[in-house]
Amino acid sequence: MNKIFRYECQRLLWNKFFFGFLGVLLLYGWQVLEGVTLSGISHTAPFSPWSFGDYLSRMMPLLWTGALFFLTFFTSSAARRAAVLTDAAPFSPRGYALTRCAAALTGTCLITFACLAETAVFYRWYFGWQDWGTLILPVLTVLVPALVFSLGSGWLLGRIRPWLLYAWMLFPFLCRTLPLPQTACIWNGSFFARYPLTLDVLDPPFSLPFSTAAVQTVVLGIGVMLWGIGMCWERK
């Protein structure tokens, strides 16, 4: 299984798409950092959790798209033809599917780490700031639920129809154009611009309303559930 995992990771990461996407991601991220984050969000410091969270919400659609693109390597027509060979291999299809999911998760973690590392370079370059512990909660709030949901739902949709993955890539971009309710406004990016202003404190510590935290927890749970359903879809 370790050899298969290494092979799948190499197939996902050592190709023109990965390096091209990574370049686009970092270029866009730096433009957001210099054009938006540098000024601070809602009268907060550029390195506050609120400004950082706004940056993450702007990067999330691209990270979502990257995660789904990784899954297309396993749901394409070529991958389905190769399944004839893998079915004859001496390990279960479910174990092979789990290995491929682990490879997609590894790729998603790498592009996410690149996005976060770029922020570290930016904060260090402009402010000499490195109190990274204060930025963990925005990552857990914005990226973890969204990307787990992306991988879980994407894996299931790709098993139903491969083209659904491409349509599903548009979901976070569509969310940013919709006037979502306050409980879900993390998905359209307005949460970090609006909520700090309601706290009546200059540069308040990071916090979430219970309803928003509940929605993100539900999204995370649904992502894990869909991932489990996708695994159960595989033959024993």
Q: At what angle do helices 77-86 and 49-75 cross, to 10 degrees?
A: 60
CA distance 182 to 110: 31
Could you count the other beta carbons within 10 Å of the beta carbon of residue 143?
21
Residue 76 confidence (pLDDT): 66
Q: 182-220: buried (b, 16+ CB within 10 Å) or exposed (e) per residue? A: ebbbbbbbbbbbebbeeeeeeebebebeeebeebbeebb
Tokens 């592009």 sit on residue:
111
Residue 60 confidence (pLDDT): 96
187's CB contacts (< 8 A; 6+ apart) are 146, 172, 175, 176, 180
Residue 197 confidence (pLDDT): 87
Q: What is the pLDDT along the chain (236 residues), one digit of tens a residue?
A: 677 788 788 888 888 889 999 999 999 999 999 999 999 898 898 999 999 999 999 999 999 999 999 999 887 665 555 554 455 555 666 677 788 888 999 999 999 999 999 999 999 999 888 788 889 999 999 999 999 999 999 999 988 888 999 999 999 999 999 998 989 999 998 999 999 988 877 778 898 999 999 999 999 999 999 988 877 766 54
Provide the residue type at 12 as one letter. Answer: L
Q: How far is CA 90 from the centre of its chain?
A: 33
Residue 231 confidence (pLDDT): 76
Opening angle at CA 95, ends 145 and 235, nearest 5: 100
CA distance 169 to 65: 5
**pTM for the predicted model, two decimal places:** 0.90
> For the residues of the chain, what is the DSSP string, one character each?
-HHHHHHHHHHHHSSHHHHHHHHHHHHHHHHHHHHTGGG-STT--TTSHHHHHHHHHHHHHHHHHHHHHHHHHHHSHHHHHHHHHHTTSSS-HHHHHHHHHHHHHHHHHHHHHHHHHHHHHHHHHHH----GGGGHHHIIIIIHHHHHHHHHHHHHHHHH-THHHHHHTTHHHHHTTS---GGGGGGGT-HHHHGGGGTTSSSPPP---HHHHHHHHHHHHHHHHHHHHHHHHS--
Q: Per the structure block, which two tokens stand in for 127? A: 């402010």
